[in-house]
Structure 1
Amino acid sequence: MTDRRGAGTSCGYGAPKAYILWQSAVAFFFFFATVFLVTPQPAHAQSYTFNTVQVEGNQRIETATILARMGIERGKPVSAGELNDAYQRLLDSGVFETVELTPRGNTLVVAVSEYPTINRISFEGNRRVKDEVLQEAIGSQSRRVFTPEQAEKDANLVAEIYSAQGRVAATVVPRIIRRSENRVDLVFEISEGTTIEIERVSFVGNRAFSDRRLRQVLETKQANILRTFLRSDTFIADRIEFDKQVLRDFYLSRGYVDFRVNSANVEFTRERDAFFLVMDVTEGQQFKFGRITTVSEIPGVDAAIYQNALKVKPGVVYSPSLVENSIARLERLGLKQGVDFLRVEPRIKRNNRDLTLDVEFALTKGPRIFVERIDIEGNTTTLDRVIRRQFDSVEGDPFNPREIRQSAERIRALGFFATADVETREGSSPSQVIVDVDVEEQPTGSLSLGGSYSISDGFGVAVGLQESNFLGRGQTLGLTLSTAQEAEQYVINFSEPYLLGRRLRFDIGTGLATQNSNFSSYDVKRVFFNPALTFSTGELSSVQFRYNWQDSEMKGRSNEVNGAVISSEIAQGKRTTSLLGISYTYDSRLGGLNPNAGVLFEVGVDAAGLGGDNEFIKTSGRVIGQTRVLNEEVTLRATLEAGALSWTGNDFSRTIDRYLLGPNTFRGFEPAGLGPRDLSGGQDDAIGGNYYWVTRFEADFPLGLPEELGLRGGVFYDVGNLWDLSDVNTAGGNIVGADGSVRHVLGLSLLWTTGFGPLRFNFSKALKKESFDKEQSFDLTIQANF
């Protein structure tokens, strides 16, 4: 190692003493200098004192307003932090594009640049959505301050409106046009794009139900060949979320309590012009009801009485709605027995071994809370009483949360309101609640145009005007005008669902109907007046009392000859009928225990003779049973229908008073194409019969074709009879078929669900008929609303 030293110096221990002292002093100096530099020194905050604040650049905003917003007082010390806070307050006001604060001695200069005001707002490129709808959605308004942030938010809101219509490719660009006096025109340039359709909806993980069956549940549909009339095949994100819920409800109502939707993936097709929707689900096992018991935890309440009121039985497929219905049934029973604050608590025990759920309904005492009042807001047209009558509770009644929820559903089901929110809050005391009903009304009037076609009446057009909330009273007033080639009808209907404030429905209809008979040479003209009262006798049953007054006439056609029977009936001229009737209906097809099976039972009796010309008793009945099999893809239906006319007057009945069977009742024959006929005078007149019965068996099923075609197949078998001409003036007639005979018809159907209405094609063959019957091997029915 090389050691560099200066002349006359040495690094040994024998160095001169002065030199050592000098070296120590230098080291001491550097040590204290380092300590001084490293040790933090206290900082002194900078402060300002302004005697004058000068504002520059403001045009619309007053100087005093700016100074008040800053919060800086003249002559008082202001720190740098307070000065920064003042700067931030001016920016946060949202009216300045730039702000600069510059201290100049005792003067603070505030330089601002104001945002322009919006002169006008316009939309360009929008054809699918009106300007008024878009204007209501955005936050920017004319004569308000323009900010780029708000304009961007508004552009996103407009894009969301288009996305909700399936136009996810829509783009919205906000632009400004500078005007004088610091004003701008705000223009939203819109490129609407095209709707993106759902090309395919498929499922992963489903075993109990096929993709075809599950697609019927969803609101989202696959693209249809008639998509001009279909809007449910476009991609809408909110609809996918709704579909998840309805799919869950579908499975839960069929006992799949562990069902869940794992994911709902939406992917572009390779061409990026459509979507694939794939739902990944886990079904789990199907559970049924096991033991169903009722226990009472309220002294003096007998659980056996409530147990006997239950309709659900073991072995029935489990459904949450059946549990809810049972709870509501027991709570209503408690009200009838005077048990206040009754709460029914379902306690469910799971049995994985036999896949059953034991349900124990515990009768408990709820808290002593009363309804203080019901407040209704938002109804400008609808009367308060129309909303209040949807509640079973009134002020002062015990509070029942379940009943309030059911009342809310009934309010929404009225169809009078776009939104209906029902909430509760604490009242004047903890033992009181106030029910708040907030509604937003929507139009309740409608104009409908319809077209139809049938073999019996030909082509027709129908025009309907209806107001379902007439004068805000919840009443329905309707006018129907329909005309076909062979039939016309003009009817006025009125309905009051709560007559005298009770759940008693009152209907009345009056009108004029004419029909040109295409199976005989006469026309029919009717004027009628039909009031009726209907009330519920149970959850699934109802009874109707009705009165019917009718003035009817059979009129012959000029230059046409009629048989002896029809001629004698035409000669009777106008005849009036005044009758009272009663009917009973039970229908479990929608609200029964089994969502896939149900029964409709109807029976009625009409007695004429309370004035008028005609006297008779007419009895009719109908039973329909239907079910779905093979994973609910095939629908089986059986119908038994019958009627009997007993003429009690001294005169003769007419053809229009008796039963005439047509394609809607007995397929395979022309209108009035089977039954008794009069062949006198070279004519072939259908004259009907006093008794009939018809049994129809039918099934409809998928054809295995792409679902977007909307085609299903069907097969049917009809058998029945029409007979008896008692109290008929058959003098001079050549009558055949009066004793009747059983007819058999076998047929195939093609059902086509289109965007403008259902079409049904029936192809039939009579296996057994009479020689005088009028067979019809093809029948087409079209009905559409547009």
Structure 2
Amino acid sequence: MVDGAAYGQSAAPASPTQGQLPPDQTPPSDQAPPPRTRAPRPALAHRRHVQPARVRRGSAVPVSGGTISAIDVRGNERIETSTILSYLLVQQGDAFNQDELDRSLKTLYATGLFRDVSLTRNGSTLIVKVRENPIVNRIAFEGNHAAKDDDIRKVITLRPRAVYTPELAARDRQKILDLYAGKGRYAVTVTPQIIRLSHNRVEVVFQISEGTLTLIQKISFVGNKAFSEARLSQVVTSKETAWYRFFSSSDEYNPDRIQYDRELLRRFYLRNGYVDFDVSDATAELSPDRKGFYITFTITEGPRYRIGKLEVKSTLRHVPGDSLRPSVQSLKHHWYDGDEVQRIADGIQDELQAHGSPFAVVRPEIARNTDNHTVDLLFDVSEGPRVYVERLDITGNTITQDHVVRRQFDFAEGDPFTPTQQRRSKQSLEDLGYFSTVNVETSPGSAPDKVNVNAALAEKPTGELTLGGGYSTDAGILGNAGLRQKNLVGSGIDASLQGTIAQYENQVDFSLTDPYFLGRNLVAGIDLFSIQTDNLNISDYYETRLGGTARVGYAYNRYLSQSWNYSLIDRHVSNINTAASLYIQDESGHSLLSQVGTTLAYDRRDSRLQPHKGYIVRIGGDVAGLGGNEKYIRGKLDASYYIPLDILTGNHDWTIALVAGTGYIADYSGGRQDIVDNFYLGGDNLRGFLDGGVGPHSVPTNQYPASDALGGRFIYTQSTTLNFPLPLGPDLGLSGRTFVDMGGLAGLRTIRTYTAAENQPFAGDNLTPRVSAGVGVSWKSPFGLINVDIGIPVVKQKYDQTQVFRFGFGSNF
């Protein structure tokens, strides 16, 4: 027998938080939905009122009077009589009391064990009749595809061998509806069905009809004047449904995402000078067919403000306000930018805390001048409360060792404590990539000036098994596999084994890195590798490298760092084409490279992965000759500078990148001067030209018809790139760029120099700049990063080798 409970009504959306309730406005007429259905409040969403079991009293239940001589319990099968008696508020020998009997009846119902209870009186005997609720034998789900059985079981209350009640089934139905709402499915229906078995047992089957995804059909903005609806649509993370969003969930309605979008809009307007901006309402309307949402943001922009007066007030001893004024002058007369103001305040505070004022606090304060639409800005520098760390507690690190976590904190027990250090330490723990959640909270210590810091962590898997494939212009068709453990046995050591098989290159690497070698601010590691490279399309030879590198690095401060490395590599040049020049044929055989190198870097970029502003300068050098048969000194210098165009474009995705570099190699004591150690120009460092396509080349002759890239001693490069967003780019992961590259390479460096009589001429040995210009597109696709560049050589010479199209694709899965 199957009892179908009437719980099949459709799910309504869980209502957004404040400011997200359905609006009184209608969507634009061009896409107006059917008559509007207001999204209910979360507490009422999907709810069907379930009537509690009716309290039934026997007519013989007396009014007060008489004494209970006996209590007779009837109808119980599983539940012990003594258990039922323990719930009664009256016992044998007590007087019959109407109030106590009523309360006893309610208490028995409240246990959830019974579907019917009656109390009657037979003379001086109290008769308690019960009908027990059934026991759940099994719980099943039918029709669910978007949510797995295990995921549903985690949210429901009913369990096998537990008591079944209609109320519990109704609550679980609601929880299932909420689970589906979180997955963007509001058209789902859930029907609990009861299959009755023998011995008062039931099976509970939740019949689920998932329906289609409830997607966002339209996003509207009301009150915007300074920015178009299209521009504001780029700011929010919620997106209108479109055919190309099949890999994204941004077009699924999510109340939390709407709330986040409110904050994104506020920050966007504050960055552009709209100090009075406010999102007065953010509403979500569900169409009557429950297949689409209509989102409306109602905003008040207010006037745009420029920065007027700039003041710095300091109450710190030995830190006058005038000494800090140069740090804020860059803001003068610009449009107010809340992010930039906070960044400058944080920068001043960090500098003060690092140089003798650990409790320094910098608070930016603004005063609006509504008459002339300016903002007077005051940086108030003072000393915050003196608080010290009493205890640092760490919980949840079941794999990662304690000392690995502790070294991410800027403080230890007894050190001064500031909220800035707390935020920075939390960010450092998150950047490790070892934990799924990181919470760093404080609690009062044993004294007013002491605080306990509590780090609650949740570990996540840190091992990676990767398989990949793709194509690049340099390596050709490729496949790779790798095994990596970023937190080896909880020690923080990063170990990896990678292998690549490609059309022009095969490589195997083993790498081991300890980010805190010997418990100090040292990054140390080793790399062992075997590389086989097919250079037949560039210089008519095949090269094998087998060796290793030991490296160590350290940071002087947040911006300045230095690294050292020592490499010992056996190189073997073979399979030389018979048409190759004499310069290449001289390279045949083995050479041993023993080299020590160093790089000093000063990095002030806002992000190392996707820099938007700031700069980095690197200077490095290599010395070969500590053993082996290569003897040279090589120096390198490069710099990158990033210019944000937010003020001009109002978009964070516009950036100009200026990159330049130079290098020189000098020989000493009669080293071999192998061309494999030379600088090469073309490809990645000069788009529009083939790898090694610029610089000294052998000139083809009848006897040696190949034109081989020989590299050079001195190189210089410069690249100007404008990065910009593309239409639909944020949704598809697309970004564009246009570039102008320039560079030169000269200084023939070979094992042997041939005379004209030996008929092995060369060309291209000059520093005349080569120039190219072009455009490129990057796509962060679900299959990996795809880069496409089209470079047109603008200035070139006779023997330069060009390459207009450059493509790279790779994927890990």
TM-score > 0.5 by shorter chain = yes
Instruction: For 2:69, give the aligned amino acid.
Output: N
Matches of 1:180 and 1:270 in 2, distance apart? 43
The CA deviation at 1:704 is: 5.4
With over 3 angstroms needed to count, the CA separation of the structure-2 counterparts of 1:229 and 1:469, relative to structure 1, is same
Q: Is 2:609 the counterpart of 1:609?
A: no
Residues 80-106 of structure 1 deviation map (CA, whole Å, 9 limit, x = unaligned)? 222111111111112222221222331
> Among residues 700, 714, 739, which one is paired with 1:716 in the alignment?
739
Aligned to 2:238: 220
Q: Secondary structure at the match of 1:471?
A: helix
> Which of 54, 59, 80 is equivalent to 2:77?
59
Name which of 370, 374, 382 aligns with 1:363: 382
Name the structure 1 match of 2:554.
Answer: 535
Equivalent position of 1:622 in the other structure? 639
1:497 aligns with 2:515: yes
**Correspondent of 1:658 among 672, 678, 682:** 678
Counterpart residue type for residue 691 of structure 1? F
Quote how far apart the aligned CAs of 1:172 are.
2.9
Structure-2 separation of matches of 1:542 and 1:225: 47
* Partner residue in 2 for 1:11: none
Matches within 5 A, 1:130-529: 130-223=148-241, 225-267=243-285, 273-287=291-305, 291-297=309-315, 300-304=317-321, 307=324, 310=327, 313-315=330-332, 318-319=336-337, 342-352=360-370, 353=372, 355-366=374-385, 369-517=387-535, 518-529=537-548
In 2, distance between residues paired with 1:314 and 1:708?
Answer: 33
2:121 maps to 103
Which amino acid is 1:749 matched to? G
Q: 1:409-428 CA deviation, whole Å, 9 max, x = no partner? A: 43334332222233322334
User: 1:155 offset after TM fit, Å?
Assistant: 2.7
Distance 1:705 1:363 in 2: 47
Unaligned stretches of 5+ residues in structure 2? 1-61
Q: Aligned partners of 2:548, 2:306: CA distance in 1, in Å? A: 50
| TM-fit CA distance, 1:495 | 2.8
1:741 aligned partner, one-letter code: T
AA aligned to 1:761 is V
Paired AA for residue 320 in structure 2:
A
Q: What corresponds to 1:577 in structure 2?
A: 594
User: Counterpart in 1 of 2:53?
Assistant: none
222-231 vs 171-180, which moves further = 222-231
* Secondary structure of the corresponding residue to residue 395 of structure 1: coil
Give the whole-Å Cα distance in 1 for the aligned partners of 2:350 and 2:730. 45
Once the two structures are TM-superposed, the CA of residue 686 in structure 1 deviates from its matched residue by 0.9
Q: Tell me, yes or no, if the aligned pair for 1:451 and 1:462 is still in contact at 8 Å.
A: yes
| Equivalent in 689, 702, 713 of residue 690 of structure 1 | 713
For structure 1, the 5+ residue unaligned runs are: 1-43
Match of 2:752 among 717, 726, 729: 729
User: 1:24 — aligned with what?
Assistant: none
* 1:112 maps onto 2:121 in alignment: no
| Secondary structure of 1:232 counterpart | coil
Separation in 2, partners of 1:122, 1:705: 43
Q: Does 1:598 align with 2:598?
A: no
Q: Which has the larger radius of gyration?
A: 1
- Secondary structure of 1:779's counterpart equals strand
Q: Which moved more, 1:478-487 or 1:340-349?
A: 340-349
| Equivalence map 1:70-85=2 (5 Å) | 70-85=88-103
Cα offset, 1:566, TM superposition? 0.6
SS of the aligned residue for 1:716 comes to strand
Alpha-carbon contact 1:616-1:648 (below 8 Å) kept: yes
- Displacement of 1:365 after TM fit? 4.8
Cα gap change, 1:358/1:89 in structure 2, threshold over 3 Å: closer, same or farther?
same
Residues 362 and 712 (structure 1 numbering): CA distance in 2 closer, same or farther, change over 3 Å?
closer
Aligned CA distance change for structure 1 residues 486 and 264 (closer, same or farther; 3 Å): farther
Q: Deviations over 1:348-375 (max 9, x none)?
A: 4334435234123231351x54433222
User: Alpha-carbon deviations, 1:734-763, whole Å to 9, x = none?
Assistant: 211112422222323355554434434333
Equivalents in 1 of 2:96, 2:376: separation in Å? Answer: 74
Q: Output the CA distance in 1 between the equivalents of 2:456 and 2:137.
A: 36
Distance 1:568 1:200, change over 3 A: farther
Q: Greater shift after overlay, 135-144 or 350-359? A: 350-359
- The alpha-carbon deviation at position 567 of structure 1 amounts to 0.7
Partner of 1:23: none
Can you list the C-alpha shifts for 1:298-321, whole angstroms capped at 9, x where unaligned?
Answer: 6x5543597379567432665555
Query: Is the contact made by 1:223 and 1:708 (CA closer than 8 Å) also made in structure 2?
Result: no
Letter in 1 for 2:682: G
Q: Is the 8 A contact 2:602 2:618 kept in 1?
A: yes
Cα deviation digits, residues 528-587 of structure 1 (max 9, x gap): 423333334444x2322221314142423276432100111224x232232121221323
Q: Distance in 1 between matches of 2:723 and 2:387?
A: 53
Q: Distance in 1 between matches of 2:709 and 2:358?
A: 64
Tell me, in whole angstroms, the C-alpha distance in 1 between the residues paired with 2:669 and 2:146.
65
Question: Once the 2 structures are TM-superposed, how far is the Cα of residue 685 of structure 1 from its aligned partner?
Answer: 0.7
Query: What is the deviation of 1:465?
Result: 2.5
C-alpha separation in 1, matches of 2:771 and 2:517: 47
CA contact (8 A) 1:466 1:479 kept: yes
The one-letter code matched in structure 2 to 1:86 is S
Task: Give the stretch that moved more between structures: 264-273 or 69-78.
Answer: 264-273
Q: Is the 8 A contact 1:678 1:687 kept in 2?
A: yes
Q: For the Cα contact (< 8 Å) 1:417–1:439, is it kept in 2?
A: yes
Matched, 1:739 2:755: no
AA matched with 1:690: R
Amino acid of the structure 2 residue aligned with 1:598: G
Distance in 1 (alpha carbons) for counterparts of 2:791 and 2:350: 51
1:99-119 Cα distance to aligned partner (Å, 9 max, x none): 212223311111112222222
Cα distance in 1, alignment partners of residues 723 and 355 from structure 2: 47
User: Could you say which residue in structure 1 is the equivalent of 2:144?
Assistant: 126
AA in 2 matched with 1:582: T
Identity of aligned residues (%): 32
1:205 and 1:403 map into 2 onto residues whose CA distance is 40
The superposition leaves residues 239-274 of structure 1 with CA deviations (integer Å, 9 ceiling, x where unpaired) of 222333334344444554433333334456798644
Identify the range of structure 1 (83-92 vs 44-53) with the bigger mean alpha-carbon deviation: 44-53
The 1:64–1:329 alpha-carbon spacing in structure 2 relative to 1, beyond 3 Å, is same
1:389: Cα distance to partner? Answer: 2.5
1:699 and 2:722 equivalent?
yes
> 2: distance between equivalents of 1:255 and 1:596?
20
* CA distance in 1: counterparts of 2:720 and 2:349, whole angstroms: 41
